[in-house]
Amino acid sequence: MSVFPVLKSVRSTLVKNSIFIVACNLLLLSLFVLPTGCRKHQDVQPNTDTTAQNPSSGSGSLSARDEDSLKYYIHRYMLVTITEGPDTVTKIPQYLWYKAVTASINPFSSAFPKAEDLLNYIISFPQNPTDRYSFLDRTGQISSQIQNGQSGLGILPGKAFSAGSRVGDMGFEVAPAQAGSQLLWFVIYVYKNSSAGQQGVQRGWQITAVNGASNFTATTLSDALYTSSSAQFTFKKPDGSVVTLTISATNYTINPVLFDTVFQFGNTPVGYLVFNQFIDVFDANGNPTETKNELDQVFNTFKAAGVKDVIVDERYNTGGSVTTVAYLDSLLAPASAAGKLMYRYGYNDRITAYLDQLSGFPKQVNFGNATGGLSLDHVFFITSRNTVSASELTLNNLKPYMSVFTVGDTSYGKPVGFFQWSISDYDSAGRVQHLADLYDVNFQTFNANGEGNYFQGIPPDSRQPDYIDLNWGDLRDANLQAIRNYIVNGQFRIPAPEFREAQPSLYSRQYAPFSPKRFSGMVLFSRH
């Protein structure tokens, strides 16, 4: 029984430039009724130094010519057109808010020494909402992570595609809790296949020393966690025991299902799933990922247990692939939603005008012809300020078709998403080399009721703290307590006799996790 929704299959294209050799790997746009390609035009010439540098030096920096190529295509895709012709072009900029950019921009101006300077200028124009989303990924790491489920795998700028860099990560995240005037640091999640996960590190463990120093600072902890190839951490477990582990940055397959179980709340079996990242359910070659396999296994367990409610814990889920959103929603949705509209895409006026002639710009996504076979009374989402974009889309899609509640804190507020535009050129040996991946806002999403303007976030139905000294599934968690009360008593508020029992901890999260390398948003990748 397939629950996979209908999504268009598109391919990438690679076209040589007629002025100097440059290429563009369009991962969402390749077949047009209009003329196609990625060709630099005579009316736009670089005014920067184009002295060649060695693109294979391993320094991670681009030559001036490569940097100009990158700036040219950022400007062209966002503000000019995505189509090409020898003399004339049809003006179809792909940036959702291109009309807000009122200035005439020369991408080769000395005001933009780097491509990021140009991008930041384009998105700085007054808009409603402000663009706090668009960015440039020079490493290719996001595509590798979100599309293929691989951690720490990227491509050095200016290096051939075959010369990827493997930097890895330690596989766990931390956040602080206030204890008087002191900050205490706790592990808030761990990826099972990482170095930390393989050594048994758990959510709720307190970090008491870093590389032997108990008086560590936030900067010391950040350096050890994100920039070191390995570091020593001393952990205090909830039972009071202490363990010191050396954790290394490694490459591993990400399993975003951090925890799952079936609770019995009164007479109701309830499925609980901690889903931490929307890794694509199919990789770039169309093969099922570990994410798909895990989701299938979890929902088979839920179905066998006859669950009547499901809790999806997305409190740290910063988003990812919309393909996985559609897959998860089809698993959760009632049979009455089968084949119906899940969500539609909203584009700028120029793409909308030519939408029927463009391949790679989907109009909408429907639920699968058959849903997951669950007959749920409710689905509950645990959210926070770190619940971003694809996570918000997931719960918004289900609202027209079933009873949906949110518990925790207001979500981030990002109903817009990206197509990945991978910009490349050729090195002196004729090899395709990666310059950067452009993620600028291309679309907005709306559910079947037309709802989708939650730029200020989605407020919770029941506001609850995040106690970070408790492991996943601990029923002293305030979020789980509130949901249990609703299922058993019909209200989120904790009854007075149970209030003391439901306050197990002084350690609630004070502000967002570090998460400096995590993708935040939603993206639709192509299928090759």
Q: What is the pLDDT of residue 273?
A: 98
Amino acid at 307: V
Q: Cα separations (Å) of 411 from 77, 140, 396, 408, 486?
A: 30, 27, 12, 9, 21
Segments in the chain below pLDDT 70: 1-60, 84-89, 153, 155-157, 159-167, 494-506, 510-517, 526-528
CA distance 15 to 25: 8
CA angle 62–64–69, rounded 5-degree value? 85
Q: What is the value of pTM for the model shown?
A: 0.86
Q: Are 78 and 95 in contact (CB under 8 A)?
A: yes
Q: What is the pLDDT of residue 8?
A: 31
Tokens of 474: 């601990």
β-bridge partners, 154: 165
Q: Are strands 416-419 and 443-447 parallel, antiparallel or unpaired?
A: antiparallel
Q: Cα separations (Å) of 35 from 23, 176, 223, 406, 496?
A: 16, 54, 49, 46, 69
Q: What is the pLDDT of residue 39?
A: 32
Residue-wise pLDDT for 408-459, tens only, equals: 999 999 999 999 899 988 888 888 888 999 999 999 999 999 999 999 999 9
Q: What is the pLDDT of residue 495?
A: 59
353-356: long-range contacts, CB 8 A cutoff, minimum separation 24: 354/34, 354/90, 354/92
Q: What is the pLDDT of residue 360?
A: 84
The DSSP string of 433-469 is EEEEEEE---EEEEETTS----TT----SEE---BTT
Q: What is the pLDDT of residue 195?
A: 97
Residue-wise pLDDT for 501-523, tens only, equals: 444 455 777 666 665 567 889 99
CA distance 187 to 206: 6
Reading phi first (left if > 0) and then psi (alpha if -120 to 50, else beta), residue 306 is in: left
145-154 burial code (b ≥16 CB/10 A, e <16):
bbbbbbbbbb
Q: Are strands 443-447 and 341-346 parallel, antiparallel or unpaired?
A: antiparallel
Q: Cα separations (Å) of 198 from 188, 191, 201, 234?
A: 16, 9, 8, 16
Give helix 290-305 / helix 322-332 axis angle, nearest 10°.
Answer: 10
Residue with tokens 């770190």: 386
Residue-wise pLDDT for 5-46, tens only, equals: 443 322 232 222 222 223 333 333 322 333 223 333 333 333
